[in-house]
Amino acid sequence: MAENYNLTGLSDAEAKEFHSIFMPSMYGWFTLVVMAHVLTHLRFPWI
């Protein structure tokens, strides 16, 4: 049976695997960014 490919060129299984890696990485990056902003604000308050 042939795999169905989306516009990205990934099969459904490949897309799910990519998504399972991408989402935790994105959440980790956002957490790091928010922590950096909070620490910067505590050190150099701008308001």
pLDDT at 4: 75
User: Which pTM was predicted?
Assistant: 0.70
> Do 11 and 3 touch, CB atoms closer than 8 A?
yes
pLDDT at 7: 87
pLDDT at 5: 73
> Do 12 and 4 touch, CB atoms closer than 8 A?
yes
12, pLDDT greater than 80? yes
The span from the CA of 35 to the CA of 33, in Å, is 5
pLDDT digits 0-9 by tens, 13-47? 999 999 999 999 999 999 999 999 999 999 998 76
6, pLDDT greater than 90? no
